[in-house]
Amino acid sequence: MPDSEERLDEKEAVKRLNAALELQYRSALQYSLTAATLTGIEAQALGSQLTGFGDLELADARRLVEKIVSFGGDPTTNVAELRFDRNAKSALRWLAECEEAAVELLQEAIEPTGRDGRSEALEHLMEHLILRKQTQVDFLNRAIA
């Protein structure tokens, strides 16, 4: 059995997960907002992909809420800043910046984990979310280029 230094700090994990959750809510909404407001060739080329990303973001928000509740915490209902931009490149650039910020906070949520089973599960969940988000950032950056 891991000693106390190698166990999950639930209180700190909840705090960090809630910080990430504010950005996660934004991700789901920002992808949907951007997908729905693209016009012209951008709408045809990117709209369905961004809609799909938004759906995945919402599913991941639910996972974060479930994890927070499982640690005895209360999930935040705060949503990070949303933006509307008619310019497709600017809107995609903002999405990429949002996702990069979310990746950083998900990474920070790994720190209070230890070596017990719950810690390992949290760490792997964060890594999965980070991997998926980073793939989306790469997609957005290619679209912006």
Within-domain flag for 111: yes
Least confident of 3-7, 9-13, 127-131: 3-7
Question: For position 70, which CATH number holds?
Answer: 1.20.1260.10
Within-domain flag for 103: yes
Dig out the tokens for 5 from the structure.
């230094």
Over the range 107-136, which residues count as b (16 or more CB within 10 Å of their CB) and which as e?
A: eebbebbbeeebbeebbebbeebbebbeeb
Q: Considering its fold, how many domains does the chain have in total?
A: 1
Dig out the tokens for 2 from the structure.
């891991």
DSSP letter string, 103-120: HHHHHHTTTT--SSHHHH
Within-domain flag for 133: yes
Q: How confident is the model at residue 5 (pLDDT cuts 50, 70, 90)?
A: low
Gap between the Cα atoms of 121 and 47, Å rounded = 33
Of 81, 96, 80, 78, residue with least CA distance to 145 = 96
Within-domain flag for 2: no
Q: What is the pLDDT of residues 76-124, one digit of tens each?
A: 999 999 999 999 999 999 999 999 999 999 999 998 888 888 889 999 9
Which CA distances in Å does 45 have to 24, 70, 108? Answer: 24, 40, 34
- The one-letter code for the residue type at 31 is Y
Within-domain flag for 71: yes
